[in-house]
Amino acid sequence: MSLRESGTVAASNLLHEAAETTPKRAAKISLAWKKEKTARETKVYSDEEVISLLVEAQLSKQQYNTIRLQAKTKGCNIYPSYNKVRAAKERCYPDSIIVTEDECEVKVQQLLDHTAKRLLLGQ
């Protein structure tokens, strides 16, 4: 009752739930709280970090998805979906690239502008 009087109704409700319901309820609440805290503290890979990982380890899309799904089955959702990674890869390319079967062409000024922009975003 003192919690309610001090204005912390949520804490009062939580204490009532833990103490007045089933004997295992307090353990379940504690476990859920610890899981949520661990999830908040887990460091996830950014899209750019995953691109670096893919390049350095020479991973294919299938290999990356396999690693990602295996981590998720262990409760570690630290890798972004491949669609997000693919979108980040596309942001790495400069605009106005002309690609044919034989060659790839981009204007030097656009390449320099894009490179400077990406460097500034990295900072």
pLDDT single digits (tens) 44-96: 899 989 999 999 999 999 999 999 999 999 888 899 999 999 999 988 888 88
79, burial (CB in 10 Å: exposed 0-12, middle 13-18, buried 19+)? buried
Q: What is the pLDDT of residue 93?
A: 86
In contact, 92 and 54? CB cutoff 8 Å: no
CA–CA separation, 93 and 1 (whole Å): 61
Q: Is the pLDDT of residue 120 over 80?
A: yes
Q: What is the pLDDT of residue 103?
A: 92
**pLDDT: is 89 or 20 the higher one?**
89
